[in-house]
Amino acid sequence: MNAARLMAVVCMAQLAGCALQPARDPEVTQLRLDVTQLTSQVADLERKGKHETPPPPACYLNGQPYSEGAVVAGRICGTGTMVYKDGQRTPLEWLPHRTN
C-alpha cells in the first residue's frame, strides 16, 4: 500500500501546475481522473486494511509468550475450538488443562 500511496503523491505533485490551468487536451483530463481514482482506491485499501489485524500467535503470562499447546500451572495455551471467525482462527487463550 505504501508503494501505491507514493505513486499517487508523485502523480499529484507532477499535476500540481496543471491543476491551475484549463485542460488543453483529453490526455490531461484523463490523467487527472486517473489520479483522483487512484487516490480514492488507496484510501479505501488503507481503511479496509486497518481493521484486519490477526490475533497474536501466542498466549502471554507475566509478559512471556507461550506457543499453542504449552502447559503452565495447570493451564494450556489453545483456542479450545476449531471455529474460524472471518476466515481467521479464534485467538489463543489460557484454558484449563486436565491430565488423565
Contact 75, 68 (CB under 8 A): no
Q: What is the pTM of this model?
A: 0.42
Going by their DSSP bridges, the two strands 59-61 and 88-89 should be labelled as unpaired
Residue 48: the pLDDT is 76
Residue 83 has pLDDT above 70, yes or no: no
Residue range 60-75: average pLDDT? Answer: 91
Give CA–CA dist 20/44, Å, rounded. Answer: 27
- How large is the average pLDDT for residues 45-60? 74
Give the pLDDT band of residue 66 (cuts 50, 70, 90).
Answer: very high
